[in-house]
Structure 1
Amino acid sequence: MTSSSNNPLNMAKYAIGGAAHQTPSKTALLVYDTQKPESPLETWSFAEIEDAVLRLAAGLAGRGLKPGERVAIRLGNSSQSALLFFAAIAGGFVALPLSDQLTAPELKALLEDSGASAIATFEPLAAGIAPGIIEFSAEDIASLIRTSERADYAATNADDPAFLIYTSGTTAKPKGVLHAHRSAMGRRPMYQGWFGITADDRMLHAGGFNWTFTLGVGLTDPWANGATAIVCTGKKSPELWPAIIAATGATLFAAVPGVFRQILKYARPTPGSLGKLRHGLMGGETPPPGLVEDWGSATGLPLYEALGMSEISTYISTGPDVPYRPGTVGKPQAGRRVAIIPTGGGSEPLPPGQEGLIAVHRSDPGMMLGYWNRPDEEAEVYRGEWFIGGDLGSLDADGYITHLGRVNELMNAGGYRVSPLEIESALAPCPGVAEVACTEIRVKSGVSIIGAFVVPTEGAPKNAAAVKAFASEHLAAYKVPREIVFVDRLPRTPNGKVQRKALAALIATSP
């Protein structure tokens, strides 16, 4: 799997153009309100999507934007957000999806770092955030779709920049991950290696459009396969998802593991309650032990996992043709070159059974072009021909990979390095524990302990001693959490991922 800078390719044309030509009247996009999922707010055919995208691309050029310039998109989970993302790419610009929950200082920092030339936003920018930037309101975007002359797809090449996504990564300052048009082609191994997708599917994603997981799995992939994408606006409470899945006719539902766990806890789905859903797709974080089994028992449906990152999307997964094996993430998707290499240095792949860093060959077309204006950090993630994103794992003789956590999340317990995943996995079966997340808690200068933050099952007593006793039966003494903190809910991002960095702050507010 290689790419060439002389290979003509436009990501927007790849994702939309084929279906717009072959099945122009077929439904491409449905927009629903989570509070009223009985009927869509908007319905777009592939022909209508392509027409809007190409008119928007012409409108951006008409405002003086040049190829390669960054177009920031801060329009929430709206159809305009999806259209503008592909319009920027179609026109040869670089799409820059941003969260609508960013504070003014955060937004200012990202606009400055990216050098964005334009921004589309529901609310006008405050004075001084980005002097001289071209602003588009939602009304402006609607007007450009109505009035602009339709453009052609820009004559871009596979290695030309297509979109820039910011990720918190391992540093305090978010860093931009720049992707090429070829990244869409790099997603093809997951079509059957994870999704099992067909043109008849309806893909519903629980995440937001400022995330590669949503932009790829929720839009790019279904459209490239001639399938229908479903977008939800409004409050996304876990208890609402079963009714939304059933009412929208979703056949595939993608979310982080935490969302599936919350659905089980708060919505209590049963076999048949999810309508036409064939299976669930989870990624974005490590699932708690037993989630696949619990989901299957409650719904009668499979749940397939994938491991990925902003720099490459997913590359290891289970799926309809890759049976689930407890304790593992799955197998490398067909065509991917994945290996386990030593944590301490060197690039020679380790034999099965040994623990190390999970690495992906840098020739994969899904691989990022690089980190935006951060050559030093970029150099740190490559070792020889391998990209290492900080995930630890091991490979078994059958090709299944076990994820052992992330290097930057390892905790110091009495001089030992311990993954929070190991402790969470041991505590998950503990009676009275519905959810658990662990992190290192600094108690004084130079002294840290392991803390476990527990969401109790309904009606269960908050018995810290019982949790510690259970941990002592299943973990070495140095791994047993010194502090047990009971909380109502774990802190999560808008996309449902556990925020480990926010856990320690809960101690002051816990009962």
Structure 2
Amino acid sequence: MTDARPSAPAPAEAGVRPAVPFNLARYCLAGGADPRKPALLVAEGPDGRIVETWTYGEIIDAVARVAGGFGGYGLARGERVLLRVGNTSTFPLLFFGAIAAGLAPIPTSTMLTDREVDLILADSGARLVVGDGSCAMPTEAGEAIVLGPVEIGRLRAASPADFAHTDADDLAFLVYTSGTSGRPKGVAHAQRVALGRRPMREGWYGLRPDDRLFHAGAFNWTYTLGAGLMDPWSVGATSIVHLGERPPQAWPDLLEVTGATLFAAVPSLYRRILKYGQVAPGRFPALRHGLTAGEALKPALHREWVEATGRPLYEALGMSEISTYVSSGPHVPTRPGSPGRPQAGRRIAVLPVAGEGPDAGQPLPAGESGVIAVHRSDPGLMLGYWRLPQETAAVLRGDWFLTGDVAHFDADGYLWYEGRADDQMNAFGYRVAPEEVERAIAEHASVAEVAVKEAVSGDVSVVTAFVVLNAGAVADVPALEQHAAAHLADYKRPRAWVFVEALPHTGSGKVLRRALRP
């Protein structure tokens, strides 16, 4: 059996080292919250009817029983458990139950095909595959043990077990993303990832024990598992999720009925709520503010939400390897167009894009663009890419982890995102960040959404803008060109304009630029 740990060295922990043993599930669930207090509310239907209420006592007991059930399979510490489970309350029980047992769950989207599941199973070497019958399973399980609905019932009925005595640097879970080769790439996170999320609680959420945080995403999305479950549970707050169809016009009622004080979603959902829902400053009165991540928040959308609701909207920038590390929040005023400033306790820098020379590891001054880097001492940083030592080494430069995102800081410490380094366009010999061009074009009143990419035709490469128009707007290229000329240098301006009904997005809501076709 191969080693269950990634082949890359784990980054050191910042600050005070956590007590040993340290278990992520124990940290999130056993923090002393009143066992009678609601930990999880599950709503269903357009009217937001609460169909399940889980107290902290019930959640802890259920997770302990699942951990005991997993323990009956005699697996070694750190063995992987592939989860193929739909968006029900069973998912977090299995996820945290596996971690409580000292195993490493792999949350996966229900939208994956059986071939994609095969690839993840083969790469991860998972010893257990747990499926509830709601989504595709591996076509060939090999040596893995497959558990179905009956076995899930047995897990939940097992005798409870104590939290495993894992260490802070032990593997906690794997998250799979698309690798550069087109094959899935596992991001390995340690138990200490829970500590790396603490700066978000103040720096982004302003999270309190009396909060009710409603996350719009599904359980199997890591944005939901982190912002929707780990973080509220770590402070004794209540998490709210919704099952089934959630039409955008239903969200104002959902927020009101559930008494949500915080709401987390991707920008595109906020845009649809404004378009289709009945939104006014008097709606959902319990809500203090909204949270958004997953894609850039356009200034126009931010402005429209604040004007329509009278409530702030706080953005965060992050990625699977580190979660969020830059944000606005209750103590960091929003600056539309910027995701905010590094969260307190984070060591974030902008380094030269070129990785050679004596200054390659030296942070650039404000105003100079480069690649965003996170110090390797951050406890939220991944252990490495699963069984990919060369790819792990490629994103490390001395004491820094390179995110691959290009940005610059302004004089006040706000970060201005300019896109992915591999999305950079070459226009007349200049490097141009698509995010900068998109931000400028999105300010035009007729533009609902825009994405730009470099399109090559023969020997000619031009910046091409793909535009989704607001309802009732017309495709007026001269007007857009005039707007671009007032906001962008000549070499940054689109030379071609394509009007589309919608932009392609990933499952997490990010614009999929490589799928754009002139």
TM-score range for the pair, normalised by the shorter chain length = over 0.9
Q: Distance in 2 between matches of 1:286 and 1:267?
A: 22
Structure 1: gaps spanning 5 or more residues: none
Query: What residue is the counterpart of 1:200 in the other structure?
Result: 210
Q: Is the 8 A contact 1:206 1:495 kept in 2?
A: no
- For residue 15 of structure 1, what is the amino acid of its counterpart? C
Q: Distance in 1 between matches of 2:128 and 2:105?
A: 10
The 5-angstrom pairing of residues 47-66 of structure 1 reads 47-66=57-76
Query: What residue is the counterpart of 2:113 in the other structure?
Result: 103
Selected match of 2:383 from 364, 369, 373: 369
1:114 aligns with 2:127: no
Query: What residue is the counterpart of 1:460 in the other structure?
Result: 473
- For residue 410 of structure 1, what is the amino acid of its counterpart? Q
* SS in structure 1 at match of 2:61: helix
- For residue 142 of structure 2, what is the amino acid of its counterpart? P
Shift of 1:398: 2.6
Q: Is the 8 A contact 1:3 1:182 kept in 2?
A: no
Shift of 1:227: 0.5
Does the C-alpha gap of structure 1 residues 288 and 75 become closer, same or farther in structure 2, counting only changes over 3 Å? same
Cα deviation, 1:396-438, whole Å, max 9, x if unaligned, reads 3332222222201112323332111111111112232121122
Q: Name the % identity.
A: 52
Query: What residue is the counterpart of 2:4 in the other structure?
Result: none
1:497 aligns with 2:501: no
The 5-angstrom pairing of residues 174-213 of structure 1 reads 174-213=184-223
Shift of 1:451: 2.3
Shift of 1:259: 1.9
Q: Distance in 2 between matches of 1:489 and 1:12?
A: 40
Q: Distance in 2 between matches of 1:503 and 1:115?
A: 34
* SS in structure 1 at match of 2:200: helix
Instruction: Please give the TM-score of this superposition, normalised by the length of structure 1.
Output: 0.93
1:246 aligns with 2:260: no
Q: Which runs of 4+ in 1 moved over 6 A?
A: none
Q: Distance in 2 between matches of 1:127 and 1:101?
A: 13
* SS in structure 2 at match of 1:184: helix
Selected match of 2:235 from 225, 230, 245: 225
Structure 2: gaps spanning 5 or more residues: 1-13
Q: Distance in 2 between matches of 1:153 and 1:328?
A: 41
Query: What residue is the counterpart of 1:285 in the other structure?
Result: 295
Q: Distance in 2 between matches of 1:433 and 1:397?
A: 30
Q: Distance in 2 between matches of 1:275 and 1:200?
A: 15
Q: Distance in 1 between matches of 2:419 and 2:137?
A: 40
Q: Distance in 2 between matches of 1:307 and 1:268?
A: 29
Q: Which moved more, 1:267-276 or 1:99-108?
A: 267-276
Instruction: Please give the TM-score of this superposition, normalised by the length of structure 2.
Output: 0.92
- For residue 504 of structure 2, what is the amino acid of its counterpart? P
Q: Distance in 2 between matches of 1:30 and 1:94?
A: 25
* SS in structure 2 at match of 1:449: strand
Does the C-alpha gap of structure 1 residues 268 and 435 become closer, same or farther in structure 2, counting only changes over 3 Å? farther
Selected match of 1:8 from 10, 21, 24: 21
Shift of 1:180: 0.6
Shift of 1:162: 0.3
Does the C-alpha gap of structure 1 residues 483 and 306 become closer, same or farther in structure 2, counting only changes over 3 Å? same
Shift of 1:233: 1.4
Q: Distance in 2 between matches of 1:127 and 1:205?
A: 29
Q: Is the 8 A contact 2:42 2:53 kept in 1?
A: yes
Shift of 1:150: 0.6
The 5-angstrom pairing of residues 89-488 of structure 1 reads 89-123=99-133, 128-146=139-157, 148-168=158-178, 170-267=180-277, 269-345=279-355, 346-444=360-458, 447-488=460-501
Shift of 1:236: 3.1
- For residue 327 of structure 1, what is the amino acid of its counterpart? G
After superposition, the CA RMSD in angstroms is 2.0
Cα deviation, 1:104-158, whole Å, max 9, x if unaligned, reads 1111111111111112223386674322322222343233212x11101001110
Shift of 1:276: 1.3
Q: Distance in 1 between matches of 2:146 and 2:446?
A: 52
Shift of 1:189: 1.0
Shift of 1:329: 2.1
Q: Distance in 2 between matches of 1:126 and 1:343?
A: 41
Shift of 1:447: 4.4
